[in-house]
């Protein structure tokens, strides 16, 4: 669950320490950054290897043993492919957004319109849209990588074990607990990105060749993506719930529909909102995707504890509203700063105040008591009844008649 953090640590160290100390040539620094991504992958792999060894797993070069495991590995790979596609819809939408930002932005120093069938159509986005979109994506990926992916990684073995044992009540309880965590942490994180979008863009991006206008464009994108942070995190939980039940088709079908919706919204929203419309389209399509996954799971599997989720939701809304109002009040009181250090100080103050304010409100509303402590013992990692690849389950998958 901590593996996604390694990527951020490695490339930040490369940017902040290795590249400046090694060379002043931008081309060399870029190659060093690319190399740090490869190194981070090796470190992530090493973390998994060490963890497996602690649990008694050993890899050998015995060809007969590999041949005996070949069929199981092929089955696992075939089953994992649709799961990975279902989980990657947000990233695919981001790729589509980036391509549209490249193709439909006015070229620097180029014409202000392009021709289709002899008609001149103005570009919906200005030059630099792809760069602004990239900066915004880095920020919404942070809570998704640190929290959303980690939560999905932790909760999947539990859901798979419950599904393999036909334990409906336990499956429902842990799934609801995961969704509560999404509400308690993912929702305020997204709102925090929305209300702090301006200070974040000013503090982190506005220096060097990045002007105030560039930072403002990035801020609008951050706010657009921030709307859907809770949905990006919830998707990690819901898709894995389907996979634990042996249903590998529903998440892909819903994801493909969401991809089409995102493309349609992109083509619609870029005209009034420029590149910020791409971010809003991704957030809307992710929200619709989560609602569809939740509805189908609720309809075909078990009735989830609506009252528990509703109770958590209104508490989270109250605590988040208090946090947002507090942060906005603090930002209104802070004087404008023209220095990078001053803008970073403003961002730090507002962030700390927001975190403390939310923690106080969450404690007073009893939200912290709702945070479950998922078991981390050896038993939670046992592979029983084929749970390891999601191939066997005693709970009927979505769409079945039982």
Q: What are the tens digits of pLDDT across the range 212-268? A: 888 899 999 999 999 999 999 999 899 989 888 888 888 989 999 999 999 999 999
Quick one: average pLDDT of 13-42?
A: 90
Q: Out of 38-47, 85-94, 369-378, which region has the weakest mean confidence (pLDDT)?
A: 369-378
pLDDT tens track for 10-22: 888 888 888 888 8
Q: Is the pLDDT of residue 147 over 60?
A: yes
The domain spans of the chain are 60-389
Q: How far is CA 146 from CA 140, 348, 393, in A?
A: 11, 19, 30
**Residue 371 pLDDT:** 63
**Residue 132 pLDDT:** 87
Percent of the chain with pLDDT over 90: 35
pLDDT tens track for 275-287: 999 999 999 999 9
Q: Is the pLDDT of residue 299 over 80?
A: no
Q: Which of 364, 311, 305, 333 is nearest to 172 (CA)?
A: 305
Quick one: average pLDDT of 168-172?
A: 85
Quick one: average pLDDT of 344-353?
A: 94
Q: Which residue has the higher pLDDT, 181 or 109?
A: 181
**Residue 17 pLDDT:** 87
Q: Is the pLDDT of residue 290 over 60?
A: yes
**Residue 398 pLDDT:** 53
Question: How many other CB atoms sit within 10 Å of the CB of residue 257?
Answer: 15
Burial of 254 (0-12, 13-18, 19+ CB in 10 A): buried
Percent of the chain with pLDDT over 70: 90
């Amino acid at each position: 669950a901590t593996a996604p953090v390694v990527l951020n640590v490695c490339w930040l160290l490369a940017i902040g320490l290795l590249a400046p100390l090694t060379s002043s040539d931008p081309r060399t620094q870029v190659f060093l950054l690319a190399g740090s991504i490869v190194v981070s992958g090796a470190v992530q792999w090493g973390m998994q290897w060490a963890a497996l060894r602690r649990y008694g797993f050993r890899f050998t070069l015995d060809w007969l043993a590999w041949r005996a495991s070949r069929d199981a590995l092929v089955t696992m790979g075939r089953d994992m492919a649709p799961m990975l596609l279902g989980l990657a819809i947000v990233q695919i939408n981001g790729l589509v957004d980036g391509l549209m930002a490249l193709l439909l932005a006015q070229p620097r120093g180029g014409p202000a319109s392009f021709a289709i069938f002899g008609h001149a159509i103005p570009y919906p986005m200005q030059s630099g849209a792809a760069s602004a979109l990239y900066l915004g994506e880095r920020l919404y990926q942070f809570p998704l990588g640190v929290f959303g992916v980690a939560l999905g990684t932790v909760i999947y073995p539990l859901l798979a074990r419950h599904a393999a044992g036909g334990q409906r009540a336990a499956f429902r309880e842990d799934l609801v607990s995961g969704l509560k965590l999404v509400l308690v942490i993912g929702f305020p994180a997204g709102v925090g990105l929305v209300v702090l979008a301006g200070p974040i863009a000013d503090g982190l991006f506005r220096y060097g060749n990045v002007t105030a206008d560039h930072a403002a464009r990035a801020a609008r994108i951050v706010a657009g993506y921030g709307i859907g942070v809770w949905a990006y995190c919830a998707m990690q939980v819901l898709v894995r719930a389907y996979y634990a039940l042996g249903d590998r088709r529903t998440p892909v079908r819903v994801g493909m529909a969401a991809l089409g919706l995102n493309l349609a919204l992109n083509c619609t929203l870029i005209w009034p909102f420029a590149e910020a419309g791409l971010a809003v389209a991704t957030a809307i399509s992710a929200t619709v995707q989560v609602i569809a996954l939740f509805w189908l799971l609720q309809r075909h599997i078990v009735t989830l504890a609506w009252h528990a989720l509703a109770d958590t939701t209104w508490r989270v809304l109250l605590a988040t509203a208090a946090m947002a109002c507090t942060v906005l009040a603090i930002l209104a009181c802070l004087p404008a700063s023209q220095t990078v250090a001053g803008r970073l100080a403003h961002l730090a103050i507002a962030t700390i105040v927001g975190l403390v304010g939310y923690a106080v409100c969450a404690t007073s509303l009893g939200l912290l008591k709702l945070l479950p402590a998922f078991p981390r013992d050896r038993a939670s990692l046992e592979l029983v009844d084929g749970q390891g690849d999601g191939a066997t389950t005693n709970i009927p998958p979505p769409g079945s008649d039982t």
